[in-house]
Every structure is written in structure tokens, then in C-alpha cells.
Structure 1
Amino acid sequence: MRRLLATAAAVTAAALALTACGTTEPAADNDTKKTSEPITLTDASGAEVKLDGPARKVVGTEWHEVELLISLGVDPVGVADVKGYKTWDTAVPLKNEPKDIGTRGEPSMDTIAGLSPDLIVASTDLPPAAVKQLRKVAPVLEVRSADASDPLGQMTENLDLIAKATGTTAQAEKIKKDFDTKIAEGRKALADAGLGGAKYAFADGYVVSNQVSIRPFTSGSLIGAVNEKLGLKNAWTVKGDESYGLASTDVEGLTTLGDVQFAYIGNDGDKDSTPFTGALAKDKVWTSLPFVKKGNVHRLPDGIWMFGGPESMNQYIDSVVAALAK
């Protein structure tokens, strides 16, 4: 995971220590009739973004925004850390071979300029100096990847903003409708299994310099908000950061959870991301926890991006229902 896995880690560091040509698929309704009309938008930074028409050659500097682009039918010409995206976001796979523009924290300006994009979709997590440089290359639409005060609202706002910039608003409406349906289905499945209101804790973890760090996903996280929509009760009482709703603890911090359902996501492609079956497997504190003793520890499938868009959350919902309601 490295930048949120570094992005989220960077955003919360103080608190957590933690290409081929792109195309836009034609929309099914009046979106296609407006392809030549100028578009003016206000992005998350408050900047006014002017486009000659729906953007077709788009670069994405963060995986959250890349996922939204592909979900909307836009194949980005440039993506930061392509290998990482393919590893961590399997809900919405790349359909083309975009140019790797470098890391999510430090995209290559020269590489992006060489793509001659119509639009660069960038996270507000990028340093302002980097965004200033990007604006010299092409119009930049800054998107706030997360907001702990309203995680689901922020995800939807991002989807709608990118849809307006790319002329894919009809597809955005379909995505939102499908997500609402998935939430309702998941909530019913858990309730039918007697898990309505069940105490549930989701986390991920890392091993750094032989030390295990655990990252709780509080109610302010996107996954935390989805869990509550599913009727689950978040067992974490620690305070998360203001953007991603993430906190930081160690194995001792797990002793406050009590008897819960505990779930996590790791990745076999990153050995340091699976401490619950690795470094902690023989740890006396870990093995003494009630939910560990009862076997209520669930490793969800690899490749679910915890900071993604509606389709990653759909994938997450399916995995939670499968794990808990078995």
C-alpha cells in the first residue's frame, strides 16, 4: 500500500505516524449532444475550471479519482503508480494501458505534459506547489479524496464533479443508484443473519522496522460510513483524522474492542500489510483477544481499495456479507 498507503499516511502523519489514447465512452442520453459546449466548474480548492467541452484525454494523480474516471467510462491516458493501482483496486480494473506518471505524491510533470491532456484530475492531497505546476500543463480539477465529516457525501460529490467534467452524468446516476441498491441488499442480508447492530471493527495494519502498526477505520472513514449504512455498529472509540477518519494504535489498543467481529484487508503482494496472519500470529496479546479466540477474525479479499469509489464499496459490501453472514 504505500501512499494512503502513502496518501492517507501523509495526510494523517502527524496524528497517525502512519497509455494508450484515452477515450470517453458516449453516454446514452443528452450528454452526447453537448460535446461541443464549454464547461465551467468549481473544484474542491475553490478554483474555477474552464473546459472547451467534455474532457476526453484525462490524467489521474490519485487512485480514488482514477477509479471514478474508469467507472464513468473514461480511460485515463495517465495514471500514477499503475502497478499499485492494479494491485490494490480490482473492482474497477484499467481497460487500457495508461502511461505511468510516477508516484501519487510526486507525479512527473514532464511525463504528464508529454501526454497533452485535456484535463488533469488531482487530489487535494497533492502539495499546492505541484498543483500550480500542473496548471501550467492543462486545466486541473482538484478533488478532495475524503472528508471524515461526510465520507459518503464526499464520494458522491467527487463522482458528480468528474462526471460533469467528462460529460458522463447519466453514468454517474446509474452508479449512485446501483450503490444504493447494494447497500439495501447488504443491510438486509446481515439483518437476516441476525447481525443487525453487531459490533464490528475494521482495520488494516503494517509492519515497519519490525514494529506492528494498526490503523483503525473509525466512523469518519469511508468504510466506517458504509458499515453503519449496513446496520453494523463501529466498535472503535479512538478518534480518526479529519479527512480519512483513520486512527493509529498497536496490538494493545485492540484489547479495548471486547467481543466483536473483526475484519481487515491486506495484500499478498505487500508482505508488510498482513501482520494479523504474520507478525501477530504468535503474539500473546493478539491470541488472547476474545474475537481471535472465537474465530471472529475475517480477512477480506485482496484488491478492495478502502479509499475508492462506489464500485470499490460495492465490492467491500459483498465481501463483508460473505464473511459475516456465512
Structure 2
Amino acid sequence: MRNLRDHLLVCFIVLVLAVLTACGNTNPASSTQDSRSDQTAEASDANQASTTTTQQDGAQVNTFKHDFGSIEVPAHPQRIAGLYLEDYLVALGIKPVTQTVIGSFSLKYLQSSIGDLPKVDTSAIDYEAMLAARPDLILLAFPSYANDGNYEKFSSIAPTYVFGADAPDQWREALRTIGELTGKQAEAEKVLQSYDSKVKDAKAKLKAAIGDETVGFVRVRSNKEIRLYGGPGGYVGNVLYTDLGLNPPQIAKDLAWGEDSGMAVISKEIIPEITADHLFITYDEGGKDLAQELINSSIWKSLPAVKNNQTYEVSMDHWMTFGPLAYNKKVDDVLQALVK
């Protein structure tokens, strides 16, 4: 009986050793390889899903950096809202999904293209109206539109690109940037070429018409403020003095000239010093009566340009904005006034 127990014990030990040996002979490399294979398969699945998503989107996504961060934009966004940038969009053949107003002020010269669009008032932004327009890209003309948490609000609606404070002076670069953002680079270059060709022709005509005579520009605001415009940049200076090469009156050089100053608020006492040969005047909405009061004053009537019947009223609507369409209209105004 004891021999039987000993025999069974030996058999049991042999069996255990055999099992342990079999376990010990499992290939660690093979085990690791299996684990790596599983991980590779998972990674491959993840990459495939990402690639599929990109393919399903059906368009390249471009990343653009700006002062408020970076955004990802489809190569050809379809629904674009451009606050105070509608001029650029229309020039590129794009109909925006909203139109900018500032209180009672609207871009009247663009109404044939954007008059039927919902309004977004930048003096009190209605984000619900912006959301309802369903943009897939929002463009803001000035950093002030994005400050105080507004950028985050716009970005919650759609990717939002903010232009720098120098956009009015750097409008050509702004147009090219919008061309890149919207996939309209070629159209942007055509717009610039057309404008530059127009300016070149206009400069020749103006030189022949008025030579070195001086040209000034005054604006009357609804708050009774009188502004004298200079250059070399700004809404007025960019066209009159930089693009068209016209000569400003000395008072504009003295008070409203420099990289940081293309405009000066002046008192009525300064008006007699506006000795320009030619003088443009515009006024804000609500400022017409004030402008007429100035025009009827003896101070105004004493100016050389007034005495020689060389004053010209132009629309504040496109003069106090920027963009290729507005700039083309400004050139047209100058040619109509000065080339007889």
C-alpha cells in the first residue's frame, strides 16, 4: 500500500514538473510581440479613423494664426460673416451671410449686394443674429470687436479670425489674407492689379489736370466735431496722398501727418489756415445741417478753394471705410471732381 502511495506521489510530482516546464517554455518575445501587435492594430485603427474623417470632410483644412490664437478653416468656406469687411468679400465675389451696421450707419454703397442680409450692429453685438446666420467662418476687422471676451463668444459660433488695428492702412495685405482664408487668392490678386492699374491711369490724368495744386479734405461729424484729414495713411490719406500722389495743404502736414496720425480735430479758428487749392468735404449722418452751417459761414467762404468754386461734397458712406470697392469709388470721386 505504501509503495502504491509512493508511486502516486512520484507521478503527481512528475506531472507538476511537466506543467511547470511547459509554462516556463512560453516565449516572452512572442508574448511581447503579441502585445505590440495589439497596440499597433489599435494605433492603425485610430489613424485610419482620422484619415477617414479627413476624407469624409472632402476638403483640406488650413490653419491660420492671428493675434487671438489660431483657427482651422476648410479650404473653401461657404458661409462667411465679415464684420466691417463686407467690401473685401463682395470684391472677391463672395456674398457674406451678414451685413455690418454701426447704430444708424450702414454701408450704403454695398446695398445692392448685401441689402437683403441680416444686420449685425457692432455697437451692441447681437450674437443670436450671428448664430442664426450659421457662418462657418467669422472675420473681424478690428481687435476691438474681439476684446472683453467677445472673441470667445464669436469662436463658439464659428472659427474667428481677427485682423490687426493696422488693417485700414494695410488693406492690400488684408485682402490677400482674406483671399487665403477663403480660397480666393487668385481673385485677390486680380482685384489688386485692377486697382493699381486704375490708380496709375488716374495719377497721370490728375497730374495733367491740376499739376502740383494742393488738395484738402474736411469732415463734419454729428457731434459738431470738425476733422481735417492728412496722411500718409488712413481712410483719406491712403487714396489722396499715397496712391494718387496729390499734394496736401501745409496745415494737413502740420496737424494731421505721420504714421500714427492721419487726422486732426480742429477748431473753427483753424479753418482759415486750410489754404488748399481744392477742398473735399463730407459729413456724418446727422451732420448735414452742421455742415451746411459751416459752408454758409464767412470763415468757410474766405477759403481759396471756396472762392474759386473748387470745393466738392463726397459721400461719407464710402470715404470713411476701407476696402477695394470703397477705394475704387474714392478714386472715381477724385477724378470726377478734379479732371474736367
CA drift of 1:120 comes to: 0.7
Residues 99 and 140 (structure 1), Cα distance of their counterparts in 2 relative to 1, 3 Å cut: same
Residue 99 (str. 1) matches residue 145 (str. 2): no
Aligned to 1:260: 277
1:172 matched to 2:188? The reply is yes
Shift in alpha-carbon separation, 1:69–1:266, aligned structure 2, 3 A: same
Q: 2:272, 2:303 within 8 Å by CA — same for their partners in 1?
A: yes
Q: What is the count of residue pairs matched by the alignment?
A: 277
Q: What amino acid is aligned across from residue 238 of structure 2 in structure 1? A: A
| Aligned-pair identity (%) | 20
Q: Aligned pair 1:158/2:174, yes or no?
A: yes
Give the CA deviation at 1:219.
2.3
Which residue is 2:73 aligned to? 51
The residue correspondences of 1:193-232 to structure 2 (distance < 5 A) are 193=209, 195-208=210-223, 211-228=224-241, 229-232=243-246
Matches within 5 A, 1:35-50: 36-43=59-66, 45=67, 47-50=69-72
Distance in 2 separating the partners of 1:301 and 1:185: 23
Is residue 2:106 matched to residue 1:85?
Answer: yes
In structure 1, C-alpha distance between the alignment counterparts of 2:290 and 2:228, rounded to whole Å:
12
With normalisation by structure 1, the TM-score equals: 0.76
- Which of 83, 89, 96 is the aligned partner of 1:76? 96
Offset, 1:55: 1.6
Verify the 8 A CA contact 2:229 2:237 in the aligned structure 1. Answer: no
Could you list the runs of 5+ residues in structure 2 that have no partner in the other structure? 1-57
Shift, 1:125, TM fit: 3.0
* Aligned alpha-carbon RMSD (Å): 2.6
Which residue in 2 is equivalent to 1:6?
none
Counterpart in 2 of 1:138? 158
**Conserved? CA contact 2:71–2:160, under 8 Å:** yes
Q: How many angstroms does 1:310 deviate by?
A: 1.6
C-alpha contact 1:105 1:126 (8 A) present in aligned 2: no
- 1:249 has 2:271 as partner: no
Going from structure 1 to structure 2, the CA distance change for 1:273 and 1:163 (only over 3 Å counts) comes to: farther
More helix by share: 2
Secondary structure (helix, strand or coil) at the match of 1:304 reads: helix
Q: Which has the higher contact order (CA 8 A, sep 6+)?
A: 1
| Residue from 175, 181, 206 that aligns with 1:190 | 206
Measure, in 2, the Cα distance between the counterparts of 1:93 and 1:159. 21
Stretch moving more, 251-260 or 239-248: 239-248
TM-score, structure 2 length as denominator? 0.73
Which residue type is aligned with residue 115 of structure 1? A
Structure number with bigger Rg: 2
**Structure 1, unpaired ranges of 5+:** 1-34
- Match for residue 23 of structure 1? none
